[in-house]
Structure 1
């Protein structure tokens, strides 16, 4: 069964030996997952993989673009850039050279509900990686001159995305399906927002959200849990962070659907492109929903690969598009489901009709046992192969701790996928097919 990683005050006694960590899972080959809650509410979750000589390390902060307030829009992604520009102790060049000197990698990502600063290094270089990333997260200075220079970089990044018609289509679709919900805003902000946001607003966003009780550190590879905990404690104490005993982590986001007001109907963006980018979709499931495994099977069968229904019908049988697929996204209180195709403008109507027809067919008829077996085999294989590197395992640990508080081992995950029935998939497809839709067309 999935192990509950959640923490409440009544269970603090289980976390007293935070250096050793509570054993969450023990698997074959000596792999084990451990969890500690440090003073200040900092959480450390690791997966020891004795056969690996490298370690993937992530510092996760429970703040995303949806959490920005008026006057601070774009600040979350702005910080992702600025934390690499230097601290009170290191210059931007110092940070870059630290990882280059050991053949390591470092980067960051901003999402709608979290931010992560991560690295992959050899096991012997973990102390350096912890020291550098902890310094970035705790001691950024946000020099005005660096901020202004990075403002231009971010505006160029946004301009690059706006030149990609597929990116434009997905941003437009998300905005329309989410309506005025904060999840509908672009993660990187708009050019107007990035131009307008002031240094003081970005600084306030940083000081408010980059706190011990929001920080999750996950790591996977050739490591020892207690050694990583010691390194983290030393780095955070050196930074002067408030590591008060008995402080509990910040509560996770409540998983409850929010009322949405999607802009249903057809929306066209007139841009000069040779190809039209078409997305047809509707509202979906929130993260952690009990039917999430049925959604995975439905999505894989409908548009998850070269043998999927959309690919076979739209590309292979009719030659109407080079690329077509289905997709699903979920957050703590909202989700979406959709189908995409890129085609010439005169084929938009036909391709849209075919996408609707394939979803309707899944809603009307149960999958045959052979197709269900093929799809669950596809999902199982990709899940296992995708988890065989330290980076994916680190990411899974961090997301599990930050988002849901449940760690599910691979055997349990595979069993859940294989337990999905054809009736459950048909029922979900029928529900999705019955909902109003958003049709986004860019470049037609």
Structure 2
């Protein structure tokens, strides 16, 4: 495949020959359901995902956390299957099934042997279309989610991540926790979640992706049969819902800090700046920058903070991109008394890339790391299935490994330096959990503002 392949919503059928000989096909049904498959030579299993482009950012104030709540509830039974029936369907064939809620989408997925793919499609279709949201199950699952939130609140690495998003994005929906809060989960009622379900789980919202050992024509027939049997009317024509488009950039608050004092042995620390949205042409440059800065044991952060100074066990950088915004973050876990020093060092490394750039050797190493990691990840049908979902829901284009490597090869040290300089000049946010206060970070990029 040469170049990215666009995925227009008004083209019903597409066929793409991907790197490694994999065959990618897409079909859009008249009802708006989109079905994508990637047939991988030699595979004996398949991963299937049922996606809807609704996430935590799409919730109304009265229903914060309802998308994640609903994800749990769809495993609790339909008119024809109990929660136990759903679990047994996958357990008895040695399969795996689960779901995830993100800020811009929800996905229900399963991995099974190829002979069990029709079963997985049928069960997932039933779950997604026909959950009953039984009132007793609703209250029982409310307790489960409250326990999940409590467990996350006990984990300082989870807490600092949530607080960083709040600090960078402020009141924007991307700054809200995906699972909501204990207060919002206690307050939300079944009718509100039901309304959220019926409004966002329709044929034109659904994307089905399968990767591995799969025959596309059989998959399309199986999806149509399963959705029809579950009660969806696929004869009514509808266009697929439009993809999200980049809006004016989300700007963080200069100097925003979110500090959570806790009497624990280690401070979990994150610095963050607004990053790139998922459509930005510089995203290949960003992955190269992330690799050099904090993407492995040879990265600058790891070498400077752990290897040379012994100030942290875990230290890295990361980047999150959404349809209209992004975040670049730096993380370290360190002694509370060294937290200010570590924050200074992390910020200095980002700024140093922005002023001095990187070497050709560092960029070559980043290309090797990213190319190898990508190739290894694609040995797993889960990764390929997720790539199809992201391509269809967010990007609107399919990019295979060869094209990703081609784009990465075009990145220059000057590109990385320019991007790092722009990021370092952006508003800096700080989140920390541990024995810290404003004085810990006083002098880091100015005096702290109110969080």
Q: CA deviation at 1:302?
A: 0.5
CA distance in 2, matches of 1:263, 1:112: 23
CA RMSD after TM alignment? 1.2
CA distances 1:315-335 after superposition (whole Å, capped 9, x unpaired) = 000001111111111111111
CA distance in 1, matches of 2:390, 2:80: 29
Secondary structure of 2:166's counterpart equals: helix
Q: 1:278 aligns with which of 269, 273, 281?
A: 269
1:24 — aligned with what? 16
Q: 2:285 aligns with which of 294, 300, 319?
A: 294
TM-score, with normalisation over the residues of structure 1? 0.95
In the TM superposition, 1:365-404 aligns within 5 A as 365-404=356-395
TM-score, with normalisation over the residues of structure 2? 0.94
Q: 1:72 aligns with which of 32, 39, 63?
A: 63
Q: CA deviation at 1:28?
A: 4.0
Secondary structure of 2:61's counterpart equals: coil
1:416 — aligned with what? 407
1:189 — aligned with what? 180
**Structure 1 residue runs without a partner (length 5+):** 16-20
1:362 — aligned with what? 353
**Structure 2 residue runs without a partner (length 5+):** 436-451
- Whether contact under 8 Å (2:167, 2:256) holds in the other structure is no
- Whether contact under 8 Å (1:278, 1:440) holds in the other structure is yes
Q: Please, which moves more after superposition, 34-43 or 260-269?
A: 260-269
CA distances 1:19-54 after superposition (whole Å, capped 9, x unpaired) = xx421235544x200000012100000001130111
1:140 — aligned with what? 131
- Whether contact under 8 Å (1:310, 1:325) holds in the other structure is yes
1:328 — aligned with what? 319
Q: 2:299 aligns with which of 301, 304, 308?
A: 308
Q: 1:430 aligns with which of 411, 421, 446?
A: 421
Q: CA deviation at 1:366?
A: 2.4
In the TM superposition, 1:40-439 aligns within 5 A as 40-244=31-235, 246-262=237-253, 264-439=255-430
Q: Please, which moves more after superposition, 352-361 or 80-89?
A: 352-361
2:445 — aligned with what? none
CA distance in 1, matches of 2:41, 2:268: 46
1:5 — aligned with what? 7
Q: CA deviation at 1:441?
A: 1.6
Secondary structure of 1:40's counterpart equals: coil
CA distance in 1, matches of 2:294, 2:271: 13
Q: How many equivalent residue pairs?
A: 433
CA distance in 1, matches of 2:256, 2:57: 25
Structure 1: 4+ residue segments shifted above 6 A: none
CA distance in 1, matches of 2:271, 2:401: 32
CA distance in 1, matches of 2:68, 2:7: 28
CA distances 1:259-278 after superposition (whole Å, capped 9, x unpaired) = 43536333321112110111
Secondary structure of 2:62's counterpart equals: coil
- Whether contact under 8 Å (2:252, 2:273) holds in the other structure is no
- Whether contact under 8 Å (1:177, 1:264) holds in the other structure is no
Q: CA deviation at 1:242?
A: 2.5
Q: CA deviation at 1:245?
A: 5.3
Secondary structure of 2:140's counterpart equals: helix
2:441 — aligned with what? none
1:18 — aligned with what? none
- Whether contact under 8 Å (1:176, 1:263) holds in the other structure is no
CA distances 1:402-423 after superposition (whole Å, capped 9, x unpaired) = 1111001110111111211000
Secondary structure of 1:39's counterpart equals: coil
CA distance in 2, matches of 1:147, 1:187: 19
CA distance in 2, matches of 1:281, 1:217: 34
Q: CA deviation at 1:442?
A: 1.0
CA distance in 1, matches of 2:251, 2:303: 33
CA distances 1:34-93 after superposition (whole Å, capped 9, x unpaired) = 000012100000001130111100000110011011221111000111000000110000
CA distance in 1, matches of 2:233, 2:248: 35
